[in-house]
């Protein structure tokens, strides 16, 4: 076992002043840390009959594939606007300044598909809440969410009702 906290690097004032960016690339680059992280992210949902693991662009994608392999499910993509080539459904949500939009293929799920959401960082929870809305709009059932790390002082967890796992809590 390794201490995963040692593989996360704080980058002050990125991408703008006042934000401490959690850089996960050292964790991704370490075979021991990466495998341990995806094991720990998958474990709470191994018995949850997940049909599809959905990664949120873009660091969520890196984790979602390996978690899906452990769970024995497929993988789906929540993407920024204009990236998906066929019919999509979209949600637009509020940011601190302005709005953001996420898309998924309209036929991403068979009706009632059981979905696990994967992302690297839970911050304010806006992205996770919007992804849940989007998945439900496309006919999926959100069973839970699994994150590499949670910035608990931002209370993002309050925006998501359902099982929510985070490996590392700050």
Q: Least distance in Å: CB of 141 to ligand AMP? A: 22
Work out whether 122 is an interface residue with ligand AMP (CB under 6 A): yes
Site for ligand AMP in 1-40 (CB under 6 A): 19-22
Residue 41 near residue 61 (C-beta atoms within 8 A): no
> How many Å separate Cα 96 from the centre of its chain?
20
> How many Å separate Cα 37 from the centre of its chain?
13
- Cβ neighbours of residue 58 closer than 8 Å, sequence gap 6 or more: none
Work out whether 101 is an interface residue with ligand AMP (CB under 6 A): no
Q: Least distance in Å: CB of 130 to ligand AMP? A: 8
Q: Least distance in Å: CB of 49 to ligand AMP? A: 26
Q: Which helix (H) or strand (E) holds 68?
A: helix 59-71
By annotation, the residues acting in catalysis are 59, 96
Site map (CB under 6 A) of ligand AMP, residues 53-72, x = contact: ---x--x-------------
Work out whether 164 is an interface residue with ligand AMP (CB under 6 A): no
Site map (CB under 6 A) of ligand AMP, residues 137-156, x = contact: -------------------x
- Terminal C-alpha separation, the chain: 20
Closest CA to 44 of 69, 73, 70: 70
The whole-angstrom separation of Cα 133 and Cα 54 is 13
The whole-angstrom separation of Cα 8 and Cα 22 is 6
Work out whether 167 is an interface residue with ligand AMP (CB under 6 A): no
Work out whether 125 is an interface residue with ligand AMP (CB under 6 A): yes
Q: Least distance in Å: CB of 110 to ligand AMP? A: 26
What residue ranges bind ligand AMP (CB under 6 A)?
Answer: 19-22, 56, 59, 119-128, 156
């Amino acid at each position: 076992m390794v201490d995963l906290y040692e593989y996360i690097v704080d980058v002050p004032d990125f991408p703008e002043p006042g934000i401490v960016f959690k850089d996960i690339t050292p964790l991704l680059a370490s075979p021991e840390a990466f495998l341990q992280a995806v094991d720990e992210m998958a474990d709470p949902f191994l018995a949850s009959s997940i049909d599809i693991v959905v990664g949120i662009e873009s660091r969520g994608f890196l984790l979602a594939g390996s978690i899906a392999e452990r769970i024995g499910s497929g993988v789906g993509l929540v993407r920024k606007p204009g990236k998906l080539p066929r019919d999509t459904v979209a949600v637009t949500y509020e940011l601190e300044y302005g709005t953001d939009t996420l898309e998924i293929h309209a036929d991403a799920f068979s009706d009632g598909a059981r979905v696990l959401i994967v992302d690297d960082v839970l911050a304010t929870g806006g992205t996770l809440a919007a992804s849940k809305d989007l998945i439900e709009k496309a006919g999926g059932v959100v069973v839970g969410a699994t994150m590499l790390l949670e910035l608990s002082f931002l209370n993002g967890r309050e925006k998501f009702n359902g099982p929510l796992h985070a490996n590392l809590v700050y």
